[in-house]
Structure 1
Amino acid sequence: MRKPRGIILASVGLLWAAGMLWSSRYSITSQADAEIEVTSTAYAMPGAVSAMLVAGAAAALAVLTLVTGAGRAVSTTVRFVITTGVGLIIGGLGAVSIITINTDGWIYAVVGGTVAAAATIGGALAGFQQARVIAAVCWAAIAVFLVGVVLAFLQDDLLPVFGAGESAASQADAAAYWGYAQGLLGGLVAGLITFRLLRRAVKRDGTVLRWPFYALAGGGPGLLLVIGEVLTRTAGARVLDLAGRVSVLDTSIQQMLSTTRLNNALMVLFVGAFTAMVAFGRTLGTPADEDPAPVRRPQRALVPPKRQEDPDEIEQAARAD
């Protein structure tokens, strides 16, 4: 991965994370009621965790590119130390923006710790040898996020297409179909973008990249979403549990949102990997049909043509005898 591309990716990833953290902080601090503030924190945490995963990986790749520039080689241990350290720094900065909302409450410390863990894990993932694959995953993850934003903006207009009516049952079914469609579209976008980026990198560098790396890159954004959901349910479990205690309705909403996020992540994972593999398979040229070997016929011995004798010569030979 070249330096300008690495810096651009890191800038975009950090801007995305900063925007998500600012949005989370604003939605939390703008609530006057303590119970609504807790539920707002639970709603905002998954998005911030996913953004910090990408930001940690993107920033770590940029720093690693700068360190290993000019042909300098580093060992695997040094690579992971650099990338994990960068992720830890990014995570610490993100955690500070959440913890400072209220330093007296443990809920923000939990969210801050979850955010810091996400960035650290993202940085550690950037330590693997295939930097091109990690960079493609980060770009695709940002694209999947943008797809989600656009679909969320169009949700009210498109839900009737999926059968949403006046009844609560039809609206619930339509929301489920909507989640499947969002995961399917996100997976297609992830697979196509990662395939395109890897093909360009391979052509530019002249190297060979086998199909498992394309599959891994295509499913990478979904894998990041799965990791983010696991972090949300483990490191941030106390926040979700507290938000679920506000009311029975909030408990149902939290469970529904957790299930929807996991299903969406799995769909992006599998659809993205499958799409990237299919796109890669279409580039494999079929071997040209070989022309059948020409049949060699046995050559006949060349017999010199019989010499036609002249009648005058025959008459002269007879007279001579």
Structure 2
Amino acid sequence: MSEPDSGPDQAEGAQQGPERASSRGIVLAVVALAWAAAMLWSARATITGRTDAEMEVTSTAYAMPGAVSAALVAGAAAALAVVTLLPRAGRTARFLAAIGTGLAVGLLGGLTIITINSEGWVYAVVGGTIAAAATIGGAPAGFGHPRVTAAVCWGAIAVFLLGVVLSFLQHDLLPVFGAGDTSSSRADAASYFGFAQGALGGLAAGLVTYRLLRRARHRTGADVRWPLYALAGAGPGLLLVVGELLTRTAGARVLELAGKISELELTVQQMLSGSRLNNGLIVLFVGAFTAMVAVGRTLGSPAPAPDTAPAVAAQPADLSRAGD
């Protein structure tokens, strides 16, 4: 490690020492890994529960996006927990540790899908996509600003949980958005529901990340610059967008195979892909805007200018005394 690299790293470690020494990173890693494990278990159970080969392929295509997004967050949280245990390491060492941790998480997650059928290329593609997602997710933990990375992970978990709750309530909420007896009204209601879900997810992401960054400031006495609040608020949406891009690129062969089963399945895959991307973008922009508004409300107003009226009033008295 070179001296120019070690100086800023040691200063940063000294500034964030109380934060690095806490157990909050371990708690975040446990929660994120548990969420990823639940998503992977659900995906495996859904895939293996199909006896028909075509249904098995479509189930794999449906389960892949959620598993990829969960792997992104799990890789980031696990890498952050490992990096916090290396307060004296240099920037390069922390980055390598973060990448290695994300890769390890990704390989473990990918094996849960690959072992469904080690000879099927479909499961190898899904497993490789999950491994790539966790590795990419671990990279930000090595760039510094651990409190921002932690806030993004917690915000993403909040968005995931909100999505689960809304999915259970979707049937009851669709009539509120105009769902009726016709297929067109139900399609329009589903579209409006998707926009509302994205907006609520962005609101949750912005508020959760803002509160966590504020709590970190009160705990350590140091704050991050306001653009990092916006970045943290946008982080959960950015993870959703990156997850969708990975699904469309690394997992493209699985989606293409599912689309070849029937014209209806192709249309469904295209609609779901567009809906996921739109949802991620909405969460991104609404989350960033919410965090910026929240931090903007706490900025202090400039101090009022001093009142010069007494000095002006005293001037004639001074002149009169001078004349005497």
Aligned with residue 137 of structure 2, among 112, 118, 122: 122
Which of 1 and 2 has greater Rg? 1
Q: Does 2:309 align with 1:291?
A: no
Aligned with residue 48 of structure 2, among 29, 48, 52: 29
Q: Does 2:94 align with 1:52?
A: no
Partner of 2:270: 255
Q: Does 2:79 align with 1:64?
A: no
Q: Distance in 1 between the 2:117 and 2:184 partners? A: 40
Partner of 2:288: 273
Name the aligned partner's letter for residue 321 of structure 2: A
Q: What is the CA deviation profile of residues 246-277 of structure 1, one whole-angstrom value per residue up to 9, with x for unaligned ones? A: 11110000000000000000000000000000
Q: Distance in 2 between the 1:199 and 1:150 partners? A: 27
1:67 Cα deviation from its structure 2 partner: 1.9
Q: Distance in 2 between the 1:283 and 1:128 partners? A: 27
Name the aligned partner's letter for residue 204 of structure 1: R
More moved, 169-178 vs 281-290: 281-290
Q: What is the CA deviation profile of residues 173-215 of structure 1, one whole-angstrom value per residue up to 9, with x for unaligned ones? A: 0010000000000000000000000011112111132111000
Q: Report SS of the residue matched to 2:84.
A: helix
1:302 Cα deviation from its structure 2 partner: 8.5
Identity value in percent: 68
Q: Report SS of the residue matched to 1:297.
A: helix
Q: Does 2:30 align with 1:11?
A: yes
Name the aligned partner's letter for residue 125 of structure 2: V
Q: How does 1:94-113 map to 2 (within 5 A)?
A: 94-113=109-128
Q: Report SS of the residue matched to 2:315.
A: coil
Aligned with residue 208 of structure 2, among 176, 181, 193: 193
Q: How does 1:126-275 map to 2 (within 5 A)?
A: 126-275=141-290
1:79 Cα deviation from its structure 2 partner: 1.3
Q: Distance in 2 between the 1:164 and 1:252 partners? A: 21
Q: Distance in 2 between the 1:208 and 1:22 partners? A: 39
**What are the ranges of 5 or more consecutive residues in structure 2 without an aligned counterpart?**
1-18
Structure number with the higher helix fraction is: 2
Partner of 1:309: none
Name the aligned partner's letter for residue 145 of structure 2: Q
Q: Distance in 1 between the 2:110 and 2:210 partners? A: 34
Q: Report SS of the residue matched to 2:165.
A: helix
**Partners of 2:159 and 2:201 within 8 A in 1:** yes
Name the aligned partner's letter for residue 75 of structure 2: G
Q: What is the CA deviation profile of residues 29-84 of structure 1, one whole-angstrom value per residue up to 9, with x for unaligned ones? A: 0001100000000000000000000000000000111122xxx2x22211110000
Name the aligned partner's letter for residue 35 of structure 2: W
Q: Distance in 1 between the 2:134 and 2:200 partners? A: 26
Q: What is the CA deviation profile of residues 135-156 of structure 1, one whole-angstrom value per residue up to 9, with x for unaligned ones? A: 0000000000000000000000
**Partners of 2:86 and 2:94 within 8 A in 1:** no
Tell me the matched-pair count.
300
Q: Distance in 1 between the 2:67 and 2:140 partners? A: 18
* TM-score between the two structures when normalised by the length of structure 2: 0.91
Q: Distance in 1 between the 2:323 and 2:133 partners? A: 90
Partner of 1:301: 321
Name the aligned partner's letter for residue 283 of structure 2: V
Q: Does 2:95 align with 1:80?
A: yes
**Partners of 2:209 and 2:291 within 8 A in 1:** yes
* TM-score between the two structures when normalised by the length of structure 1: 0.91
Q: Distance in 1 between the 2:224 and 2:46 partners? A: 44
**What are the ranges of 5 or more consecutive residues in structure 1 without an aligned counterpart?**
305-321
Q: Distance in 1 between the 2:143 and 2:322 partners? A: 72
Question: For the structure 1 residues 170 and 302, does the alpha-carbon distance in structure 2 shift closer, same or farther, using more than 3 Å as the test?
Answer: closer
